[in-house]
Amino acid sequence: MPHVTYVPLTGARVREEAMRELGMTLPGLQARAGAVGQLPALGLLTLAGLQPPHWTCSYRETPTYDHEAIQAICNDRPDLVAVSALTASVEEAYRLSHRLRSAGLRTVLGGLHATACTAEATAHFNAVVAGEGEPVWPTVLADAEANNLQPIYRERRPFALVRAPVPRFDLLGVAPRPRFTLQTQRGCPLACDFCGASRLLGGFREKPAANLVQELGDVTRIAPRPLLEFADDNTFAGKRDLTPFLDALAECGARWFTETDWRLGEDGARLRGIAAAGCVQVLVGLESLDQRHAGMGSKQADWPRTLDAIHAIQEAGIAVIGCFIAGCDGETLASLDRTAGFILASPLADVQITLQTPFPGTALHERLRRQHRLLPTRGWSHYTLFDVTYQPAPLSVVELEKGFRELVGAVFATEPTRRRQRLRRNIWANNPRLRPWAS
């Protein structure tokens, strides 16, 4: 029987030493990095759901690919090793592929980076999947079996999510897992210029509720009352009726987290429905206090309206993680200070702050490349969201690094972190559906 080994190279990374030390010491940052690191690689588990029955597979996740991990992959004696990597981990993926290929194995890479930089990736992998993996995966496996792998597999037509297979959660093993992922939609109707995830794999699509009920059923066979994180770009940007899925979430007692934009706060009926279905937290992109990004469309609104929407979401019993991006054009040390003051006085129950990062395939990357502002000495491994990778304006690189560290240090200091913990407890205590969990 042919065998494929699935290898995710994900998890948070930071290059700049001072920022790394800060991340190790600030409890709020540690918690979020830990949560991201616990997420299973849904893309690979989904591809495993498309395997023909005569293929066997294994799933090998490990934080670093040392000699022991490589040996474990080789011991599977796979006919193909399927790797997924983010931009920040792609250089590790290239090194891993070279090691595996010199051990006589064949490798294939997929993911957002492979889609945006396909030609680059073909120099390191036997094959590269550009774009969505589902439409081409059976062909990749058939070609691997026939010893006829092609350098590039690409299906330009968007994959209909109604045909999405149920991810192979069984590959995660029996060890208790703190959280699971499901994907309920792909893409986004908005077009923020820094955002690649919402465009690179095709336009906005929603998975029907019936598929989601089936996927949830598979998760609950492993974890009866799961904690879920939706791998979505903007869950509530569309108008689909999610009632059967929300009912199933409520019935199994799931608690869940997802990403959306603040306009959710202006839809009272939907808010009540998702709170009753166990929605605990939503990440909302607020981006910047002073600066505006191109492509934000109707997400761009005045602050009083946005803050009213955040209040409404939190009053429904759902904590908001306000997501800010530092370093876009026009950012100054004074504006970073203002952002810190705004966040510290805000009602936000949690916060995420990252540096603007021009990921390949985004309009932002193309603009900075044309302006010769990408830093040639800072390759893909610096695209961590915590390292400066371009020449900011008007700040210098060193000024932005320092200003960003100070912003992060102020927002994630012990007392503001405790204050946000108390806010979250109060929000959840007001939600009858979550009260036992909040206590």
Q: Which tokens in the block code for residue 140? A: 């990749």
- Could you give the angle at the alpha carbon of 242 between the alpha carbons of 281 and 112, nearest 5°? 65
Kindly give, in sequence order, each residue whose CB lies less than 8 Å from that of residue 175, ignoring residues fewer than 6 positions away.
none
CB of 300 to ligand SF4, least distance (A): 10
Beta-carbon-side half-sphere exposure of residue 218 (alpha carbons within 13 Å): 19
CB of 50 to ligand SF4, least distance (A): 26
Q: Phi and psi at residue 81, in whole multiples of 5°?
A: -115, 120
- Does the protein bind ligand SF4 through residue 234 (CB under 6 A)? yes
CA distance linking residue 16 with residue 23, whole number of Å: 11
Q: Is 168 helix (H, G, I), strand (E, B) or coil?
A: coil
Q: Are 1 and 54 in contact (CB under 8 A)?
A: yes
CB of 10 to ligand SF4, least distance (A): 19
CB of 134 to ligand SF4, least distance (A): 20
CA distance linking residue 303 with residue 130, whole number of Å: 39
Binding map of ligand SF4 across residues 163-202, x = CB under 6 A, - = no contact: -------------------------x-xxx--x--x----
Lateral strand order in the sheet of 80-85: 56-59, 3-9, 80-85, 107-110, 127-130, 152-154
Q: Which tokens in the block code for residue 135? A: 């439409």
CB of 348 to ligand SF4, least distance (A): 17
Q: Are 308 and 267 in contact (CB under 8 A)?
A: no
CA distance linking residue 253 with residue 212, whole number of Å: 15
Looking at beta carbons only, is 32 or 263 nearer to ligand SF4? Answer: 263
Please list every residue from 267 through 296 that binds ligand SF4, using CB under 6 A.
Answer: 285
Q: Which tokens in the block code for residue 337? A: 């200070």
- Does the protein bind ligand SF4 through residue 363 (CB under 6 A)? no
Number of residues that bind ligand SF4 (CB under 6 A): 11
Please list every residue from 297 through 316 that binds ligand SF4, using CB under 6 A.
Answer: 299
Please report, as a single letter, which amino acid is at residue 120. E
Q: What does the DSSP assignment read for 75-116?
A: HT--SEEEEEE-GGGHHHHHHHHHHHHHTT--EEEESHHHHH
Looking at beta carbons only, is 141 or 192 nearer to ligand SF4? Answer: 192
CB of 307 to ligand SF4, least distance (A): 18
Among 79, 215, 261, 387, binds ligand SF4 (CB under 6 A): 261
The strand pair at 227-230 and 255-260 is best described as parallel
β-pair partners for 285: 323
Among 233, 350, 387, 401, binds ligand SF4 (CB under 6 A): 233
The strand pair at 3-9 and 56-59 is best described as parallel
Looking at beta carbons only, is 73 or 284 nearer to ligand SF4? Answer: 284
Please list every residue from 377 through 416 that binds ligand SF4, using CB under 6 A.
Answer: none
Looking at beta carbons only, is 86 or 149 nearer to ligand SF4? Answer: 86
Looking at beta carbons only, is 70 or 188 nearer to ligand SF4? Answer: 188
Looking at beta carbons only, is 48 or 88 nearer to ligand SF4? Answer: 88
Looking at beta carbons only, is 215 or 233 nearer to ligand SF4? Answer: 233
Question: Which of 296, 302, 284 lies closest to 363 in space, CA to CA?
Answer: 296
- Does the protein bind ligand SF4 through residue 364 (CB under 6 A)? no
β-pair partners for 152: 128
CB of 192 to ligand SF4, least distance (A): 3
Looking at beta carbons only, is 190 or 209 nearer to ligand SF4? Answer: 190
CA distance linking residue 403 with residue 414, whole number of Å: 19
CB of 381 to ligand SF4, least distance (A): 23
Q: Which tokens in the block code for residue 280? A: 């605990």
Task: Name the site residues for ligand SF4 (rule: CB under 6 A).
Answer: 188, 190-192, 195, 198, 233-234, 261, 285, 299
